[in-house]
Amino acid sequence: MTKRILPVFLAFVMLLALGMSAQASSQPTAIVFWHSMSDEAGVLVEKFVKDFNDTIGKEKQITVEAVFQGQYSDATTKLNSVLTAETYDQLPDVMNLDATGKVAYFNSGRAYTLDDALKADAAYDIGQIQPITLNNWEFSGTKLGMPFAASTSIMFYNKTMLDAAGVKAPETFQDIIDISAKLPEKTADGLEVIAYSVVPNTPTLANWLGQLGSDMVNNKNGSEAMATELACIENGALAAFLTQWKAMYDAGALRNVAGTTDQFVAGQLAILTTSSSNITSLLEKIGGAFELGTGYYPKVTPEAHFGATVSGSCLVMFDKQDDARKAAAWELVKYLASPQVQAEFAAATGYVPVNAGAQDVPAYQELVEKHPQYEVPMSQLAITPAEMKSVTVGPAKDFYYAIQDNIAMMLDEGLSVEETVETMAEELGGLLRQYEQANK
Amino acid sequence: MMGVRQRSKLVGVLVQVAALGLGLVIIFPIVYGIFGAFKSAAEFSAFPPTFWPGSFAYTQNFRDALARVPFLRYGLNSLIVATLGTTVRLLFAVLAAFAFAFYNFRFKKALFLVILATMMLPGDTLLVTNYLTVSRLGLLDTYLGMAITSFVGATQMFMLRQSFLTFPRDLRDAGFIDGCGDLRFLATILLPITKPVLVTLFVQSFITMWNAYLWPLLVTNTNQMRTIQVGITMITSFEDTNYHLVLAGVTLSLLPSFLLFLILRHNLHRNMTAGALVG
């Protein structure tokens, strides 16, 4: 059996070698793209890459192979393994990275950063990319990667219910208190109705502190270096937030538990704050039961800025020590951040386009025309202060629960704002210090 | 007064009830998961949640999952890796256990302890070192690379040694007198007798390898070499978990393990030495 297969195999290899040498003169640049997009987004990314290969790729002799590398954290584990093993030939040319891989990429020694690429291609207008999404991928003053998938938190409200109560969509915590007084007590099914239900934790509290112009922790919310202390105590931002939060709770407008989309869909909740990427699924779940309204993330006080932090992922490039490959990688990155691709991506997934030009693309305009709800995340991104950054802390889990527990305790046991600020400063600050000492 | 027989009967019933209850608790997530594979997305978001799917004829989830991910190819990859890894692992384990059970040599105890000590190392700590080794061996993106780290398993070796130790020495001596050498003794007497243990270890090991996720993901770089568990993560995403599709994928991925269990089930509880030394 083996005897018969071997000659056939050898012949095949020789043919292959012949074919390759014949092609060598006009060989296209082959690059590898690792991504972590699964579900519909995964299907779409594969399609974008195919489109690229069929158009720009064909024209510029580039072929891209897209490979799914598991979820972001798995892909980061893989990146770390490759870097530790120093098997640099295994690195991709372009990689889809979230915050978990930022530091590893920065320290890899093989980074071909967005800044490098921009230097090489002066013609590219980086101004078309939303500044806040761009800022998310800046580290120690270097733009590491091109934003690709961005989502932000916005407010959803039951427009039918608010209209019936004769009130407008809220903008501030005080508005929510006012609205609460006018809502019906029970739904048609006899379920209790509450105006707003949410728990402050690391990401949500970061939004409200950011609106007040304050970071939660130092080193720009831990994005520049390890966060070692709180940055919201002395400036009074935490106290200001807690005061408003308590007022909302005491007025009966707030339930201090995580409100769910199911409660919102069932009409038990008038206002829900969650990721903008839920628009599509919420529209589906609600069907025609009521009109879905979207608005900016509610503000702590009228003086605060509108806005919420951005999360998502970016595209980074690796230096494979081959100029043709670097140029090819940059072509792919430009393509994936182009208005057309970003508009299509947003329309299908609910991500916010990172390219401002997406607004002019018919696919996006049609979407916004059909569902005006999609317009909100994009315009909120545009007005969110660019210095607002999501929080990265070492003891992420403990930190998250300490915020939640301390605020719940304030409300349940009627502690004063001052007392709560004090215990939070002590407990959260302690967590950061402990982590710093253990990871020096 | 309750008679002794009555009391032991009562204890027996209680034990049965407790075992049944425990069994139900263990099987519940599996049954719930399989039922979930037949539910539509709308049924999943229904409140209060339902246990029974609306209809078992609803196969859209399976069709969607199969359309989105090449489960057959990935299943084949997993099958090859799990079979290869498990077979070689058992082979090594049998030989090592045989030596530790029947031979006497220097440092036997120390060596055995060294092997046991490897059981204390959490797999995650070896991830990067193993990656380094496998990549230097040039085995990235190969079945061998995915399976090679499972070729030697301390647990299997330990279990087999314990089982070999219970083997009556007299039987081995009897074999020797009749001119039966070590290999023949191993192949024709010892292994058939320890078949239940071997089968149990095979099934357990196969399922572990079938379920492996991070390692196969690490050492493969192309879409064609992915395993079935990686395929399942392809249908879920951070923004939308798609429980109905995931459970359809999980149900599909459970089939081989389930079939393996069914085929080998009657081997899992047999005591072949019973009666071998009668008289």
Q: In terms of domains, do A63 and A80 share one?
A: yes
Q: In terms of domains, do A377 and A245 share one?
A: no
**C-alpha distances out from residue A257 to A248, A269, B190, B203, Å:** 13, 12, 62, 44
Pairing of strands A94-97, A310-318: antiparallel
Residues of chain A with Cβ-Cβ distance to B73 below 8 Å are none
- Residue with the larger pLDDT of the pair A225 and B155: B155
Q: In terms of domains, do A258 and A392 share one?
A: yes
**C-alpha distances out from residue B177 to A37, A184, B98, B187, B194, Å:** 66, 93, 19, 17, 22
> A85–B128: do the CB atoms touch at under 8 Å?
yes
How far apart are the CA of B155 and the nearest CA of chain A, in angstroms?
Answer: 26
DSSP code string of B41-101: HHHHT-SS--SS-S-TT--HHHHHHHHHS-HHHHHHHHHHHHHHHHHHHHHHHHHHHHHHH
> For A242-269, what is each residue's pLDDT tens digit?
999 999 999 999 999 887 787 898 888 9
Query: In this structure, is residue A16 part of a structural domain?
Result: no
**C-alpha distances out from residue A415 to A198, A411, A421, A426, Å:** 19, 7, 10, 16
**ipTM surpasses cut 0.90:** no
The three-class DSSP label of residue A32 is: strand
Question: Which residue in B has a C-alpha nearest to residue A279's C-alpha?
Answer: B239
The range of the structural domain enclosing residue A196 comes to 152-309+388-438
**Residue closest to A395 by CA, chosen among A281, A239, A236, A228:** A228
Rounded to an integer, the average pLDDT of A57-66 is 94
Residues of chain A with Cβ-Cβ distance to B238 below 8 Å are 71-72
Would you say A235 and A418 are in contact if contact means Cβ atoms under 8 Å apart?
A: no
Question: Which residue in A has a C-alpha nearest to residue B223's C-alpha?
Answer: A67
Question: Which residue in B has a C-alpha nearest to residue A88's C-alpha?
Answer: B135
- The pLDDT score that the predictor gives to residue A72 is 87
B271 touches chain A (CB under 8 A): no
Burial B150-162 (b: 16+ CB within 10 A, else e): bbebbbbbbbbbe
Range in A259-263, B42-46, B99-103 with the lowest mean pLDDT = B42-46
Residues of chain B with Cβ-Cβ distance to A81 below 8 Å are 127-128, 131-132, 218
How far apart are the CA of B62 and the nearest CA of chain A, in angstroms?
Answer: 15
Query: In this structure, is residue A300 part of a structural domain?
Result: yes
Q: Evaluate if residue A25 carries a pLDDT over 50.
A: no
- Give which of A31, A36, A39, A65 to mutate to test B binding, by max B Cβ within 10 Å: A39
> For A80-133, what is each residue's pLDDT tens digit?
889 988 889 899 999 999 887 888 898 899 999 999 999 999 999 999 999 889
Rounded to an integer, the average pLDDT of B238-252 is 81
Query: In this structure, is residue A14 part of a structural domain?
Result: no
Specify the pTM. 0.79
Contacts A–B by Cβ distance under 8 A: 80
Dihedral sign, CA of A62, A68, A73, A77?
A: negative
The three-class DSSP label of residue B151 is: coil
Q: In terms of domains, do A120 and A133 share one?
A: yes
Q: Domain boundary at A383, A398, A419, which? A: A383
The structural domain count of chain A equals 2
B224 touches chain A (CB under 8 A): no
Rg (CA), chain B: 24
**C-alpha distances out from residue A207 to A169, A264, B177, B219, Å:** 19, 21, 82, 39
Q: In terms of domains, do A223 and A280 share one?
A: yes
Residue A29 confidence class, pLDDT cut points 50, 70, 90? very high
Question: Which residue in A has a C-alpha nearest to residue B126's C-alpha?
Answer: A81
Q: In terms of domains, do A69 and A123 share one?
A: yes
How far apart are the CA of B22 and the nearest CA of chain A, in angstroms?
Answer: 32
Of A41, A72, A85, the CB nearest to B135: A85
Q: Which residue reads 């909100």 in tokens?
A: A376
> A38–B214: do the CB atoms touch at under 8 Å?
no
Q: Evaluate if residue A288 carries a pLDDT over 90.
A: no
Question: Which residue in B has a C-alpha nearest to residue A74's C-alpha?
Answer: B214
Rounded to an integer, the average pLDDT of B130-140 is 91
- The pLDDT score that the predictor gives to residue A92 is 95
> B223–A349: do the CB atoms touch at under 8 Å?
no
Question: Which residue in B has a C-alpha nearest to residue A275's C-alpha?
Answer: B239
- The pLDDT score that the predictor gives to residue B194 is 87
State percent of chain A over pLDDT 70.
Answer: 94
- The pLDDT score that the predictor gives to residue A422 is 96
Q: Evaluate if residue B157 carries a pLDDT over 60.
A: yes
Residue B269 confidence class, pLDDT cut points 50, 70, 90? low
The three-class DSSP label of residue B190 is: helix
Q: Domain boundary at A338, A355, A383, which? A: A383
Q: In terms of domains, do A259 and A173 share one?
A: yes
First to last CA, chain B: 43
> A78–B217: do the CB atoms touch at under 8 Å?
yes
How far apart are the CA of B173 and the nearest CA of chain A, in angstroms?
Answer: 43
The three-class DSSP label of residue A357 is: helix
Of B135, B223, B237, the CB nearest to A41: B237
**Residue closest to B218 by CA, chosen among A395, A84, A236, A266:** A84
- The pLDDT score that the predictor gives to residue A321 is 92
Q: In terms of domains, do A214 and A318 share one?
A: no
> B47–A266: do the CB atoms touch at under 8 Å?
yes
CA distance A386 to A320: 32
Q: Evaluate if residue A17 carries a pLDDT over 70.
A: no
> A69–B217: do the CB atoms touch at under 8 Å?
yes
- Residue with the larger pLDDT of the pair A257 and A15: A257
B237 touches chain A (CB under 8 A): yes
Query: In this structure, is residue A18 part of a structural domain?
Result: no
Q: Sort residue B121 into left (φ over 0), alpha (ψ -120 to 50) or beta.
A: beta
Give chain B's domains with CATH numbers. Answer: 63-267 (1.10.3720.10)
> B140–A80: do the CB atoms touch at under 8 Å?
no
A125 touches chain B (CB under 8 A): no
How far apart are the CA of B90 and the nearest CA of chain A, in angstroms?
Answer: 27
Q: Evaluate if residue A22 carries a pLDDT over 70.
A: no
How far apart are the CA of A72 and the nearest CA of chain B, in angstroms?
Answer: 10
- The pLDDT score that the predictor gives to residue A426 is 95
Residue A161's CB: how many other CB atoms inside 10 A? 22
Query: In this structure, is residue A130 part of a structural domain?
Result: yes
Residue A159's CB: how many other CB atoms inside 10 A? 17
Half-sphere exposure of B127 (CA within 13 A, CB side): 20
Residues of chain A with Cβ-Cβ distance to B127 below 8 Å are 77, 81
- Give which of A81, A83, A86, A191 to mutate to test B binding, by max B Cβ within 10 Å: A81
A281 touches chain B (CB under 8 A): yes
A322 touches chain B (CB under 8 A): no
Share the mean pLDDT of chain B: 86
Query: In this structure, is residue A104 part of a structural domain?
Result: yes
Rounded to an integer, the average pLDDT of B143-161 is 93
- The pLDDT score that the predictor gives to residue A206 is 94
Q: Evaluate if residue A407 carries a pLDDT over 70.
A: yes
Q: Evaluate if residue B235 carries a pLDDT over 60.
A: yes
Both tokens assigned to A291: 């009109």
CA distance B148 to B150: 5
Here the CATH number for the domain that contains residue A299 is 3.40.190.10
Residues of chain B with Cβ-Cβ distance to A87 below 8 Å are 132, 135-136, 140
**Residue closest to B193 by CA, chosen among B92, B112, B98, B258:** B98
Query: In this structure, is residue A2 part of a structural domain?
Result: no
Range in A11-25, A153-167, B230-244 with the lowest mean pLDDT = A11-25
Query: In this structure, is residue A138 part of a structural domain?
Result: yes
Q: Domain boundary at A383, A409, A429, which? A: A383
Q: In terms of domains, do A136 and A245 share one?
A: no
B45 touches chain A (CB under 8 A): yes
Residues of chain A with Cβ-Cβ distance to B65 below 8 Å are none
Q: In terms of domains, do A279 and A393 share one?
A: yes
Q: In terms of domains, do A198 and A347 share one?
A: no
CA distance A312 to A346: 13
B139 touches chain A (CB under 8 A): no
- The pLDDT score that the predictor gives to residue B202 is 92
Share the mean pLDDT of chain A: 89
- Give which of A46, A78, A281 to mutate to test B binding, by max B Cβ within 10 Å: A78
CA distance A420 to A412: 12
> For B188-207, what is each residue's pLDDT tens digit?
888 888 888 899 899 999 99
Would you say A308 and A152 are in contact if contact means Cβ atoms under 8 Å apart?
A: yes
A289 touches chain B (CB under 8 A): no
Query: Taking a contact as any Cβ pair under 8 Å apart, which residues of chain B between 65 and 124 contact chain A?
Result: 68
Residue A439's CB: how many other CB atoms inside 10 A? 9
Q: In terms of domains, do A299 and A315 share one?
A: no
